[in-house]
Amino acid sequence: MRRTLRNLAFIGVLIAPLSVLAQTWQDYNYAAAGFSVQFPAAPAASTGTYRTAAGVSAPSSIWSATHEGVTYAITVADFRGTSVTEQTAVNDALASVRANGEIKVDTNERIDRVFGHVLSVANKDESRSTMAIFWVDGRLYVLNGQALAPDAASRSARTLRFEQTLTFVDAQGAAPRRPDDGLPGGRGGAGGRGGPPGGPGRGPPPQSAFDDCKGKKAGDAVKHKIPEGTIVDATCFQTPGGLAARPNMPPGGRGGPPAS
């Protein structure tokens, strides 16, 4: 299974050696819930009720694990059959995050052809979170990798790794092949991004992306020329190879709801 390339790191995230991070991580595929993700320890599953600010309820499933000072959790709320829209659900989830901490970075992110939000959050309890909020076919996905205090910063690389392993699957637990996929048997056409460096189908940003961020710092806004020849707004992110520009909105795609 491949996931589109995302060379993404947030401001203040300490990047630990990937060989260390990879020692205990395993894939967990939940076809019925439509996703696959890696945990460093076996997650516990539970069910509950997810409620929006407007009082709309939806059944939810939660998978979570705590390992070496980090809590890993993903909640899937099923709004199929309700009147709740993608924008309402995602904006409501963002408001809930803001109520519990300060969003340091909010970027539009893509997993295959699905767009959503990836967040870096400083929580009120001095923990730090890397979060992902996506809407797929009437279901809201909220992933939270939370590095607990004290020394939350030293564990933040693991929360980033957790977020980067999220991918969406079909009812058979496989990533559906699309006609324009650029990788045989997998996903990730031109301009795609995703997953932790070193995995299958991964690759570095183009040299022009590094050139655009020379003399810049993580989080700086720059202009970047994409392969199609269009100049777009981009943001400098720390990658294993150095600072590189990443378009704020992949060309031709549908962005997630605007951050407020």
Question: Can you tell me the mean pLDDT for 201-228?
Answer: 78
Structural domain ending residue among the three candidates 168, 199, 225 = 168
Chain centroid to CA 253 = 16
Co-location of 24 and 87 in the same domain = yes
pLDDT in tens, 72-125: 999 999 999 999 999 999 999 999 999 999 999 898 888 877 889 999 999 999
**Count of positions (residues) in the chain:** 260
Burial of 10 (0-12, 13-18, 19+ CB in 10 A): buried
- Residue 191 is predicted with a pLDDT of 31
For residue 157, being part of any structural domain is answered with yes
The neighbouring-strand residues paired with 237 are 244
pLDDT band for position 217 (50/70/90)?
confident
Co-location of 222 and 158 in the same domain = no
pLDDT band for position 30 (50/70/90)?
very high
For residue 32, being part of any structural domain is answered with yes
Per the structure, the count of domains in the chain is 2
For residue 198, being part of any structural domain is answered with no
Which domain, by its residues, includes 153?
A: 18-168
Q: Give the DSSP H/E element, type plus range, for residue 145.
A: strand 139-147
pLDDT at 8 over 60: no
CATH number, domain with residue 139: 3.40.1000.10
For residue 233, being part of any structural domain is answered with yes
- Residue 259 is predicted with a pLDDT of 35
Co-location of 161 and 220 in the same domain = no
Least confident of 98-107, 114-123, 134-143, 204-213: 204-213
Q: Give the DSSP H/E element, type plus range, for residue 90.
A: helix 86-100
Co-location of 22 and 71 in the same domain = yes
For residue 182, being part of any structural domain is answered with no
Mean pLDDT of the chain: 78
| pTM > 0.85: yes or no | no
Q: Which residues contact 131 (CB under 8 A, 6 or more apart)?
A: 97, 117, 118, 119, 121, 142, 143, 144, 145, 163
Q: Does residue 251 have a cis bond before it (omega within 30 degrees)?
A: no
